Amino acid sequence: MMRFLMSTAAHLVGNAVGLLLASILLDGFSIQPLALVIVVVIFTAIEVVASPLITKISMKNMPQLMGGVALVTTFVGLWLTDLIVEGFDVGGVTNWLLGTLIVWLGALIAGVLLPIYVFKSLREDHKKG
């Protein structure tokens, strides 16, 4: 159970980092402060659901796409979140492409570093207590 909670927290924080990076670096990519939590939760939920579906479709129909499943999933997550959430706007075509890359990369880096540095100390504290 603890592993699931840490994994979920890492995924949410990683996506939050990626989305915030994109909103800082790209003009027109905007997340209103009150919508940030909703955007992160919905985006993460869409990615969790879409990733296995896109992987399955890729393996069956387009095996060449397998290397880019995470990027496609990020794009789909941004697109659906943009449709669903007021206060979230990706902007033009350039923002869609660069935003997908920035959100994916930010989430990837945060997803790798968080478990190593942050959650390691939390696990050690949990074992002591």
Q: What is the pLDDT along the chain (129 residues), one digit of tens a residue?
A: 677 777 778 888 889 999 999 999 999 999 999 899 999 999 999 988 888 888 888 777 777 666 678 888 899 999 999 999 999 999 999 999 999 999 999 888 887 887 777 766 655 655 665
Asked, for residue 3, whether it belongs to a domain, the answer is no
Q: What is the pLDDT of residue 88?
A: 95
Reference 7, options 40, 48, 51, 38; nearest CA is: 48
Residue 1 located in a structural domain? no
Number of domains in the chain: 1
Is 80 part of a structural domain of the chain?
A: yes
112 in a structural domain: yes
Is 13 part of a structural domain of the chain?
Answer: yes
Whether 42 maps to a domain, the answer reads yes
- In 10 A of CB 104, how many CB atoms? 24
Angle at 66 between CA 61 and CA 69, to 5 degrees: 105
Q: Is residue 58 a part of any domain in this protein?
A: yes
Q: Which domain holds residue 70?
A: 8-128
Residue 45 identity: A
Task: Give the pTM.
Answer: 0.81
pLDDT at 122: 56
